[in-house]
Amino acid sequence: MISFDNQKRIFKLDTPNSSYVIGIFDENYLLNLYYGAKIPDINLWPNAKRIKNSSFSPSNPNFKNEADSVDVLPMEYPTYGAGDFRISALKIKNSDGNSVTDIRYVSHKIYKGKPSLAPLPAIYLNNDDEADTLEIHTEDTLTGIKITLFYTAFNDLDVITKSVKAENYGKASVDIERIFSSCVDFPTMDFDLITLYGRHAKERCREQRRLAHGIQGVGSKRGVSSHNQNPFAALLRHGAGEEHGDAYGFNLVYSGNFELSAECNYSGTTRILTGINSEDFSWRLESGESFQTPEAVLVYSCQGLGGMSRTYHKLYNNNLVRGKYKYEKRPLLINSWEAAFFDFNTDKLVEFAKNAKELGIEMLVMDDGWFGKRNSDTNSLGDWFVNEEKLPGGLGVLIDRVNALGMKFGIWYEPEMISPDSKLFREHPDWLVHVPGRAPSIARNQYVLDVSREDVRDNIFKQMSEVISKYKIDYLKWDFNRNISEAGSALLPPERAKEFFHRFILGTYDLMDRFTKAFPNILFENCSGGGGRFDPGMLYYSPQIWASDNTDPIERLTIQFGTSLCYPAQTMGAHVSANGRTGYQTKGNVAQWGTFGYELDPTKLTYDEKEIIKKQVEDYHKYYSLTHYGDLYRLIDPNFDNFRCAWGFVAPDKSEALFTAVIMRKIESGLFFLKLAGLDKDKFYKNAADGEIYSGSLLMNSGINISDAVCNDGDSIQIYLTECRD
């Protein structure tokens, strides 16, 4: 619900448990008056008072109180160079060559529903009653630049989305140098900042540190959201925890260079901004043109990080993931990569499929190596035609034989890449990302294709669709195995050179949009050397993302715990592989916290291993609704406990639950009482393992003794509970 008090000039955005309040101050400046637990009233103007930094904080001469200054006031969307010396959300260089920017409130609109941000991915509504939208129209009168601030407040979730649109109504062109999607000013520094850091094969590890004076935060300049940082951050109030206290989440629906920055100033306040990374970014806005920012998704929780995460999970499952597999059960797959790498042919893959079918697996995915002359990573990216030396008779022969076994078929692509040893590169050497006069860097023996160009996108779409439309393809893995250096396009003039990174990701979105519309029945899975592009922008086009190339179940615990802070289990690609430090039971238990699948050679499994996998396949179907759509509770975080890890999924009606515990390293005491969470304290539950019946209250307060079941390195246990209705 969104309301406006005309007398007090205050906007109030309410969700079920939160309020976000904006005030129109003197001289039509917009102030951020409040964000937090839901409040019934709007008597907040006294809370806007801040202490000036003596004469060093300049004042607007028309302010009613000369002690007020934009340098210290809680600005709703702060601009550069007009008196606010903190980090700004907007900076536009005008035709005079200076970047002083000053926007003021002009008008607003409130309406049901939510506008599209196309061509950018964004949160969508299933019907207009799900949310209300506020548009605040502002203007820089000197330059004629109009800035529209978009806010959407959800009626059933504690979610507020924000984005910004700039329009040039002036006569001269301007250059946008910084334009963030969201800014929130908090009147305190009483928070820990939580972010997700990592590297290839060790993505999204949780990092938590106390806010300090100055600027702190995370970002990417790699052309993608990256393995190293994720476009997510949370503020956790001191004293809060996993299931109690204030937590604020900030996530950007974007797959390119991003920035999440928090600045704490001398007065102990905090400003947190979310948006496109302003380094190496500018955008020439000609008269009559507009620019739309990506969308920021804000979540408030009074139930700690767990409540915040569950809100993100519900939102992304229902209002970000799209298409056939939003709710339809996904086929259980086996991927050929770790089993064969580039060394395969038709007979070998069919043999994989036969053995996998016997285990209950439903789809074979043929990974890298099926196209051009691809027998290693040294060639053929961009040549998307079948390598008939490996696959005699073409893909049709292989797919028909796999389908005849009753299995579906999937395929691997890396559309945005090109090998120097390829037919495409020899024909179009200017199609790679490059800058004049500099030799392009190479990684994994490949360059990046300039998909900011329409002709490049047309070529890739034509090549790929000729294959995909000809054969029965049920699944497509979309990979991206290097970052962008020497960022430039042959088609961009010098004054637009810094538009490249954003134009590149817009090109990627356009290409993905074409494919998802042309092939709506294909299950798309995104990948970037594992989890290098695990972000909400990608989830708009592919309902699942390969979480990491690291399939070791112990390493996967920190990866999956970190990922779960924001992203739901059904989006997190997780497989059982032959690699890793534990047996297949623990590998399966860990992989069930995700999409679940296999990454191994089924012809090399022992009888006992096959029996374990058959049981895992049975459990995959049994627990599918729980693990894909249940409420997640993180019980023991491996980032803070050096020995144990535990989590669980609880049905929304609390009628059943599945909890998992893993021993990473042997516990010195050997004693392990696991306290559960999320159950109904007044209900009684039967433990499927031994038939014992416990109250929800007992299980959550006393816990359950699992010391005998998990006591050695790599041990794990699953506890399945069902409500006793008698």
Write out the E strands in 530-630.
544-546, 572-573, 576-577, 597-599
Residue with tokens 């416990």: 694
**Cα distance between residue 179 and residue 725, in whole Å:** 56
Q: For residues 365 and 599, give the distance between their C-alpha atoms in angstroms, rounded to a whole number.
A: 10
Residue 531 contacts residue 204 (beta carbons within 8 Å): yes
Between CA 465 and CA 538, with CA 505 as vertex, the angle to 5 degrees is 70
- Is the alpha carbon torsion for 167, 168, 173, 178 positive or negative? negative
- Residues, the chain, total? 726
Closest CA to 92 of 17, 20, 142, 162: 142
Q: What is the CA radius of gyration of the chain?
A: 27
E-assigned strand segments in 468-562? 475-478, 523-526, 544-546
Question: Residue 440 has which token pair?
Answer: 């392009």
The dihedral region occupied by 330, where left means phi > 0, alpha psi between -120 and 50, and beta the remainder, is beta
Q: Which parts of 306-440 are beta strand (E)?
A: 333-335, 363-366, 408-413, 417-418
Helix (H, G, I), strand (E, B), or coil: what is residue 589? helix
Report the alpha-carbon distance of residue 714 to residue 583 in Å, rounded.
7
For residue 520, cis peptide bond before it (omega within 30 degrees of 0): no
**CA–CA distance, 377 with 368 (Å, rounded to integer):** 9
CA angle at 84 for the pair 78 and 90, rounded to the nearest 5°: 30
Instruction: Give the dihedral sign, CA 555/557/562/567.
Output: positive
Does the active-site annotation cover 430?
no
479 a catalytic residue: yes
Determine the Cα–Cα distance for residues 536 and 202; give it in Å rounded to an integer. Answer: 19
Q: Which of 368, 549, 619, 715 is catalytic?
A: 549
Contact 303, 243 (CB under 8 A): yes
Question: Count of alpha carbons within 13 Å of 496, Cβ hemisphere only?
Answer: 14
For the chain, the first-to-last Cα distance in angstroms comes to 41
Per the CB < 8 A criterion, the answer to whether 593 and 574 are in contact is yes
Q: What DSSP letter does each residue of 557-578 carry, written as one string?
A: HHHHHHHHTTS-GGGEE--EES
Of 479, 601, 619, 631, the catalytic one is 479
Give the count of beta carbons closer than 10 Å to the beta carbon of residue 603.
12
448 with 482: CB under 8 angstroms?
A: yes
Contact (CB, 8 A) for 120 and 294: yes
Catalytic site residues?
479, 549
